[in-house]
Amino acid sequence: MSDLGFKRCEASSTNGLHVVRRAGTVLSLCLLQAVLLRIANSQLTEAPDFATARLRMVEEQLTAPGRDIKNPRVLDAMAAVPRHEFVPASLREFAYLDEPLPIGFHQTISQPFIVAFMTEQLDPKPTDRVLEIGTGSGYQAAVLSRLVAEVYTIEILEPLAKRAEADLKRLGFSNVKVLAGDGYKGWPEFAPFDSIIVTCAPDQIPQALVDQLQDGGRMIIPVGTLGDQKLYLLRKHGKTIEKQAVLPVAFVPMKREPEVQDKP
Ligand code: SAH
């Protein structure tokens, strides 16, 4: 932008008779403009860099062969949501790497590919109401919020729930409701949900969540212990639950309430 500023000034300084005096005035105006543009640019440098990194993330980590995320709405959401706003400030430069990152309290924000993969498996529709268990940073909820009507998300660690709620509000994700509570119970007040996404791993699929899933709905959930964990896609048809293992994964365990005493 500062280059463009210079060019515009040069063009206007070469016409007219009083070239020397006018050129002097124009030159100082040019310098002032250039300095102001540089200051403005230096304050904005982060935004274009993050936007470029995010587009590269979509290409290299999501649509690339072997990754094969195809749903265009999911890809658009991944290209739009600022992941760097959901990681600790000291880790922002790593926000668009192909990795999970720590978010404090011994928890992590999932790898972008896993977020995109799980979201795609839910086949989200603009009218859906979705329940998430394991708010963490709020990033997955933010991605979903662009794709569905309402997102309900539960986080067992209260400081994380509060921080995610504040971040989601600050960034304008206004169709997300956050609850500090135990995800094993679901959120009966707002059930049934068109789909449910669980981003921490229980030993078994919690019955309360199956009960709160709409007939015809989908649930994506990691089950098992670290090292022996699989992501399952469940589809509910009346009383029948169709269950399909879709990917080996490594999520943090889904805690039971009495264990909730983690320090940052
Ligand atoms: N979806 C998150 C990442 C989740 S990490 C994101 O986008 O950043 C898993 C989260 O599940 C952790 O924050 C952990 O505290 C939470 N969790 C663990 N057990 C839980 C439970 N029983 N109920 C609700 N949240 C739980």
* 141 CA closest ligand 1 atom index: 7
Pocket of ligand 1 (CB under 6 A): 107-110, 133-134, 136-137, 139-140, 154-157, 160, 182-184, 199-200, 252, 254-255
Q: Which of 161, 158, 157 is nearest to 141 (CA)?
A: 161
- Quote the pLDDT of residue 17: 28
Confidence grade of residue 226 (pLDDT, cut at 50, 70, 90) = confident
The best mutation among 81, 118, 155 to test binding of ligand 1, ranked by most ligand atoms within 8 Å of the C-beta, falls on 155
Cβ proximity of 92 and 84 under 8 Å: yes
Q: What percent of the chain lies above the pLDDT cut of 70? A: 79
Active site residues: 110
| Averaged pLDDT, 61-81 | 98
The secondary structure of 182-227 as a DSSP string is: -GGG--GGG--EEEEEE-SB-SS--HHHHHTEEEEEEEEEEEEETT
Q: How far is the CA of 24 from the centre of ligand 1 (A)?
A: 63
Q: How far is the CA of 78 from the centre of ligand 1 (A)?
A: 20
- Quote the pLDDT of residue 257: 80
pLDDT at 20 > cutoff 70: no
The secondary structure of 52-101 as a DSSP string is: HHHHHHIIIIIISTTT----HHHHHHHHHS-GGGGS-GGGGGGTTSSS-E
Bridging pattern class, strands 107-109 and 101-104: antiparallel
Q: How far is the CA of 240 from the centre of ligand 1 (A)?
A: 27
Confidence grade of residue 260 (pLDDT, cut at 50, 70, 90) = low
Q: How far is the CA of 186 from the centre of ligand 1 (A)?
A: 13
pLDDT at 122 > cutoff 80: yes
* 110 CA closest ligand 1 atom index: 3
* 142 CA closest ligand 1 atom index: 7
Nearest CA to ligand 1 atom 16: 134
Side chain identity at 250, as an amino acid letter? A
Q: How far is the CA of 256 from the centre of ligand 1 (A)?
A: 12
The best mutation among 252, 260, 263 to test binding of ligand 1, ranked by most ligand atoms within 8 Å of the C-beta, falls on 252
d(CA 121, CA 139): 17
The best mutation among 103, 200, 249, 260 to test binding of ligand 1, ranked by most ligand atoms within 8 Å of the C-beta, falls on 200
Nearest CA to ligand 1 atom 14: 134
- Quote the pLDDT of residue 225: 93
* 140 CA closest ligand 1 atom index: 7
Comparing 45 with 59, the larger pLDDT belongs to: 59
